[in-house]
Structure 1
Amino acid sequence: MSPNTRIKAGDLTQEHVGKFVSIHDPESGYVYPAKVVRIERREDGDSPGVSIWLEHPTLPSGRRTRGGLAHVRFDQEFELVDPI
């Protein structure tokens, strides 16, 4: 993988678990890598798309390490990055 690779959520696979995506925190202005810990496709129901569980690191602003879940459309783009 090159240092920065754009990928649509619908193209994410279990091989991307353990990789990092670029996240922008609008409150602090920081851009940082968050680790992908789980991916689940949801084809049916009211909100088809991809659920992505992320592990966010402690930020210089003081925000502590935390987990998070994002459920996005299949065409939502992410940037895969190498952690710093």
Structure 2
Amino acid sequence: MTKIEWAETPATDAYVENVKITFDAELTITEDATTKAAPDTAAAELIADPSKYASLPEGRRTETFEIDLTQSGPYTRGKVELTPVRADELSPADIGRYFQNGDEATGANYQVKLLNYRVVREGKAPGVTLWLRHGEVDGRPAYENHWHVPMDRVFNFVVLTPLS
């Protein structure tokens, strides 16, 4: 039996033992498939008790401001809600949210979607392992990868709302 650590269904690729694999055909997990989230990950906690993570943790500081939008169709102004969160303070409710990132090759700022994470407290490299989806930026295709970051790494989660 192959253990797939992370895949959204239908999927064309997934992570198996920390290595990204690509399927020859699109994979769809059906009701009669045996599936479960990778142990000790946020997705496993979320599946075990979804009501526990229906909302984000209280006490997070959020900065709100307006910006000019470019490349946003008819919208020229937007409202940004920016919430800094340390890696060791992530919550399963953060799965599916977006944080800021920069592409060094193009200089573009873009958002990365948090797909899953695991806190690693023991061993040679304590920290947080994150499974991520990066969107297309300036002609660079979208891709998925994972990072292992120190506990004190800060991610700026972003919610952008078009205004006009």
Distance in 1 (CA, whole Å) between partners of 2:103 and 2:88 is 23
Unaligned runs of 5+ in 1: none
Instruction: Report which of the two structures shows the higher radius of gyration computed on alpha carbons.
Output: 2
Larger strand proportion of the pair: 1
Answering whether residue 141 of structure 2 is matched by residue 75 of structure 1, we say no
Matches for 1:1-84 after TM superposition, within 5 Å: 2=62, 3-60=81-138, 62-82=139-159
Give the alignment's TM-score, normalised by structure 2.
Answer: 0.48
Shift of 1:53: 1.0
Unaligned runs of 5+ in 2: 1-55, 57-61, 63-80
Shift of 1:14: 1.0
Distance in 1 (CA, whole Å) between partners of 2:147 and 2:159 is 20
Which structure is richer in relative contact order (CA contacts within 8 A, separation 6 or more)?
1
3-state DSSP of counterpart to 1:52: strand
Shift of 1:82: 1.6
- Contact 1:8–1:75 (CA under 8 A) maintained in structure 2: yes
RMSD, aligned CA = 1.5
